[in-house]
Chain A
Amino acid sequence: MKAVARAHPLWLAYILHRISGIGLALFLPVHFWVLSLALNNAAQLDAFLTLSDLPIVKLAETGLVFLLAVHMFGGLRLMALEWLPWNAAQKTWAAAATAGAFFISIIFLMQAI
């Protein structure tokens, strides 16, 4: 049987928000662990941070920045949609959220290179 049809803008905004949220939640423990190396092993932290010069790590970082930005804009879109008296412009909001996230990730990438 055919999969349920879902590919409309708001559903895509929903799945993007959920996947980015899961991705950030999985990343956070690693992020916290690396930073806490500073407590008693600054040399190891530095060794870890030199990894950030690798292009592949820069790409991964850019991905994380995108996840953070898209989750934040998507969340602000949700709260605007729920709490502000709104109209059918929600699709525009969804698009603007993604565009904003892209914008910030690209700035990050340009600075990183």
Chain B
Amino acid sequence: MSEREIISVTVQRGGPDTPQRLQVFEVPAFESQTVLDVVSWIQQNADPTLTYRFACRVGMCGSCAMMVNGVPRWTCRTHVNKVLNGGKIEIAPLRNLPVIKDLAADMDPFFDKWVAAEGRHHPTRSRDDDIAAINPEQPERVVASSGIECINCSICYSACDTVAGDPDYLGPAALQRAWTLYNDAKDADKDTILDAVSGKGGCHSCHSMGSCTAYCPNGLDPLSAIAGLKRATTQRFFKGRAK
């Protein structure tokens, strides 16, 4: 490349204290450039006040997620030439979350719902007991294992229109966590988990639109996990009536 091509990058700026506006930057194209490289180039060469969040740069930490051309993506794992649209890219903070400033979304509601969905371990044993042996081939364990690679990046939460319409909805990530623990032989409190996902904004608010599964960068399937919770709560309903 003798003469560098220029990418036109539209960035959403501002936050709760400043009016939101769109700013266009001209960024030189490089070989194997990621969207995170583009954002970093702007911050280092054009406007040092641009606020964004990243850490690992290799798709392990989940902190650099943003809306790229209307799609929630890990910017560090998104090559510019895969999303370039007529020489342009649009970058905005993750949807369905408050904006702290520019491209940094406030993740607090997302993590609060993780806790509200009872996404924490309820031990079966104490530290004085032996560690329970788990057979990785057992059907429940296979189900649990299919969801444990979630790194809390909030891509699914931003992709979900049910979250957009219902601020109470716990969202795909938190509900998938609850389903994982529900299937974990080492979790002692299944009923508490089902209670937590049966209330206001629980798994029954989901309309199975599947954007969570369609956009998860880790290839996880929160849609199926939420369907599992619906099935488990329905089974509990009928079993309870039979007694």
Task: List A residues at the B interface (Cβ < 8 Å).
Answer: 1-6, 8-11, 13-15, 17-18, 78, 81-83, 85-86, 90
Contact string against A for B residues 173-216, beta-carbon threshold 8 Å, 1 for contact and 0 otherwise:
00000000000000000000000000000000001111101100
Can you list 10 A-B contacts (CB < 8 A)? A2-B69, A2-B90, A5-B69, A9-B210, A11-B211, A11-B214, A14-B207, A82-B231, A82-B234, A83-B234
Contact of A1 among B22, B230, B234 (CB under 8 A): B22
Residues of A within 8 Å of B159, CB to CB, are 4
For residue B70, CB closer than 8 A to chain A, the reply is: yes
Which B residues have a C-beta under 8 Å from some C-beta of A?
10, 12, 22, 67, 69-71, 90, 92, 95, 159, 161, 207-211, 213-214, 223-224, 227, 230-231, 234
Q: A41 to B10, alpha carbons, bound, how many Å?
A: 64
Whether A1 and B12, one on each chain, are in contact in the complex, defined by CB atoms closer than 8 angstroms, is yes
The residue that A82 contacts in the complex, of B10, B71, B161, B227, with Cβ under 8 A, is B227
Least Cβ–Cβ distance between A85 and chain B, in angstroms:
8
Task: Please tell me if the beta carbons of B208 and A10 are within 8 angstroms of each other in the complex.
Answer: yes
- What number of A-B contacts does a CB cutoff of 8 Å give? 63
Q: Given the complex, which residues of B lie within 8 Å of A85, measured CB to CB? A: 231
Interchain CB contact (< 8 A) of A10 among B22, B71, B223, B234: B223
A11 lies within 8 A of B70 (CB): no
| Residue pair A10, B161 in contact (C-beta under 8 Å) | no
Question: 5 closest pairs, A vs B, by CB?
Answer: A10-B210, A2-B70, A14-B209, A82-B230, A5-B71
Pairwise interchain contact A82-B95, C-beta atoms closer than 8 A: no
**Interchain CB contact (< 8 A) of B210 among A3, A11, A82:** A11
B183 to chain A, nearest CB (A): 13
Contacts of B231 in A (CB 8 A): 82-83, 85
A10 to B206: give the CA distance in the assembly, Å.
13
Q: How far is the CB of A41 from chain B (nearest CB, A)?
A: 42
Residues of B within 8 A of A17 (CB): 207
Nearest Cβ on chain B to A1's Cβ, whole angstroms:
6
User: Across the interface, do A1 and B214 meet the contact criterion of CB distance under 8 Å?
Assistant: no
Residues of A within 8 A of B223 (CB): 10, 90
Chain A residues with Cβ below 8 Å from B22 are: 1
